[in-house]
């Protein structure tokens, strides 16, 4: 059995609480011989700034690059609101994405039947929802240069961010999205703002060409990103796979997240290109939710997105598809049984904390594997 090297970066706020529940799943799998994982732990975000004066240290960055996969919690909080921009907590996350060349961000939005009533939309609009947003992660306005604030004098300043995309960046994210669409419903929607942005014009041209020349069997639609946001709220089940750039992907995936009832429910995967020799990809897995400093340290965090992120790790990095399926089924069963953390609590359900939810999912995972008692 191959041994997989996992690098855990719990981060700030509720990140450590959520990561603790994943660590219990990893320990169980190791003890039962279901998997073989070596884990190391490092600092990222505000905790790294406090220790090293930067969002992630060079040593921890090197460990991340050497790992088979990185599990990431969350970063940021009011404590670090006024640190220098270059070393803010979020800079650690951006460096991980950039240095590991994680250009493809996969954000599933799944509404578990038990949680349809928790969505802000009508149950019939979201029940059974299963869409996947593929976001380009290392280009666009978050990384384009120049990026600066200049003093114009007379009390005036000018802020500049630059939206830049090259053809190859669009091609590679489009291929990831088309490949994923082929494993699902063979339907891909590309979103950009070609009506007002030149980068959107190029994006549309490149995605159209890739579809026509390489994936003629996949149904391809185009939609302006603002209209896409509206349609996600109006009737989200019209979509299957959505591909978009860094900025719009950031916003649209958060909109999609709330369709499911809570940001605490949704995982994500960030993938690099396959290695030419081994075929393996550098990868990082993280929940969509933030650090939630208002509830940090109180045991109230919802660990489901972090556990589901580990399930994505099993699926995409280690090809442990059956185990990933069973872990996801365990999450669904626990929700069907009526357990809820505070963020998804509703009348008639049983409220539990982070550890209570994590323990329940692990127990059900053991049952799914035939290792526990029903």
For residues 248 and 228, what is the distance between their CA atoms, to the nearest angstrom?
Answer: 10
Confidence of residue 121 (pLDDT cuts 50, 70, 90): confident
- Write out the two tokens for 120: 């802000």
Q: Is 254 a catalytic residue?
A: yes
Q: Is 161 a catalytic residue?
A: no
At 299-331, the pLDDT tens digits run 999 999 999 999 999 999 999 999 999 999 999
Q: Domain boundaries in the chain?
A: 1-103+281-374, 105-271
Task: Tell me the sheet residues that pair with 156.
Answer: 153
Nearest CA to 202 out of 174, 240, 228 is that of 174
Active-site residue, from 99, 130, 161, 226: 226
Q: Is 193 a catalytic residue?
A: yes
Nearest CA to 355 out of 347, 363, 367 is that of 363
Active-site residue, from 161, 179, 240, 254: 254
Residue 145: strand, helix, or coil: strand
Q: Report which DSSP code applies to 275.
A: P
For the segment 192-197, the average pLDDT, to the nearest whole number, is 98
At 30-70, the pLDDT tens digits run 999 999 999 999 999 999 999 999 999 999 999 999 999 99
Q: Are 113 and 123 in contact (CB under 8 A)?
A: no
Please provide the CATH number assigned to the domain covering 105-271. Answer: 3.40.718.10
Q: Is 316 a catalytic residue?
A: no
**How crowded is residue 146: how many other Cβ atoms within 10 Å of its Cβ?**
8
Q: Is 319 left (phi over 0), alpha (psi -120 to 50) or beta?
A: left
For the segment 113-131, the average pLDDT, to the nearest whole number, is 86
Q: Is 13 left (phi over 0), alpha (psi -120 to 50) or beta?
A: left
Active-site residue, from 142, 215, 285, 316: 142
- pLDDT of residue 120 exceeding 90, the answer is no
Active-site residue, from 12, 245, 250, 343: 250
On the CB side of 280, how many CA atoms lie within 13 Å of its CA? 15
For the segment 209-229, the average pLDDT, to the nearest whole number, is 98
At 127-171, the pLDDT tens digits run 889 999 999 999 999 999 999 999 999 999 999 999 999 999 999
Confidence of residue 18 (pLDDT cuts 50, 70, 90): very high
For residues 362 and 19, what is the distance between their CA atoms, to the nearest angstrom?
Answer: 13
At 287-304, the pLDDT tens digits run 988 899 999 999 999 999
* Residue written as token pair 């069997």: 217
The pTM for the full model equals: 0.90
For residues 29 and 366, what is the distance between their CA atoms, to the nearest angstrom?
Answer: 9
When mean pLDDT is compared across 120-124, 296-300, 346-350, the lowest value belongs to 120-124
Active-site residue, from 12, 60, 165, 193: 193
Q: Are 328 and 50 in contact (CB under 8 A)?
A: no
Q: Are 223 and 187 in contact (CB under 8 A)?
A: no
Long-range contacts of 55-60 (CB under 8 A, 24+ apart): 55/87, 55/88, 55/89, 55/90, 55/91, 55/92, 55/93, 55/94, 55/95, 56/9, 56/91, 56/92, 56/95, 56/96, 60/9
Please provide the CATH number assigned to the domain covering 1-103+281-374. Answer: 3.40.718.10
- pLDDT of residue 262 exceeding 80, the answer is no
- pLDDT of residue 118 exceeding 90, the answer is no
Mean pLDDT of the chain: 94
| Fold match between domain 1-103+281-374 and domain 105-271 | yes
- pLDDT of residue 361 exceeding 70, the answer is yes
Nearest CA to 178 out of 141, 209, 138 is that of 209
């Amino acid at each position: 059995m191959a041994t997989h090297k996992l690098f855990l970066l719990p981060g700030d706020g509720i990140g450590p609480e959520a990561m603790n529940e994943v660590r219990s799943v990893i320990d169980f799998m190791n003890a039962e011989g279901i998997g073989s994982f070596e884990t190391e732990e490092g600092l990222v975000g505000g905790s790294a700034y406090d220790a090293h004066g930067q969002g992630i240290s060079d040593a921890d960055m090197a460990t991340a690059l050497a790992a088979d996969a990185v599990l990431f919690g969350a970063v940021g909080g009011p404590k670090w609101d006024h640190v220098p921009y270059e070393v803010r907590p979020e800079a650690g996350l951006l460096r991980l994405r950039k240095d590991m060349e994680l250009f493809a961000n996969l954000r599933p939005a799944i509404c578990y039947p038990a949680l349809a009533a928790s969505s802000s939309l009508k149950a019939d609009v979201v029940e059974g929802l299963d869409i996947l947003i593929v976001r380009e992660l290392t280009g666009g306005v978050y990384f384009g240069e120049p990026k600066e604030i200049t003093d114009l004098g007379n009390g005036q300043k000018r802020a500049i961010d630059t939206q830049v995309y090259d053809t190859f960046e669009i091609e590679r994210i489009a291929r990831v999205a088309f490949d994923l669409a082929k494993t699902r419903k063979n339907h891909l929607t590309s979103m950009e703002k070609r009506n007002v942005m030149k980068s959107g014009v190029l994006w549309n041209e490149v995605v159209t060409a890739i579809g026509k020349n390489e994936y003629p069997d996949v149904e391809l639609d185009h939609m302006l990103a603002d209209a896409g946001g509206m349609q996600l709220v109006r009737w989200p089940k019209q979509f299957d796979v959505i591909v978009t750039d860094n900025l719009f992907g950031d916003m649209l995936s958060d909109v999609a997240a709330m369709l499911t009832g809570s940001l605490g429910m949704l995982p994500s995967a960030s993938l690099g290109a396959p290695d030419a020799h081994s075929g393996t990809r550098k990868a990082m897995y993280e929940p969509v939710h933030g650090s939630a400093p208002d509830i940090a340290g109180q045991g109230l965090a919802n660990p489901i997105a972090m556990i589901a992120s580990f399930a994505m790790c099993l699926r995409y990095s280690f090809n442990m598809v059956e185990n990933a399926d069973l872990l996801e089924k365990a999450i669904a069963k626990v929700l069907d049984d009526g357990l809820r953390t505070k963020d998804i609590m509703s009348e008639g359900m049983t409220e539990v904390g982070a550890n209570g939810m994590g323990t329940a999912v692990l127990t059900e995972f053991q049952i799914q594997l035939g290792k526990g008692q029903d």
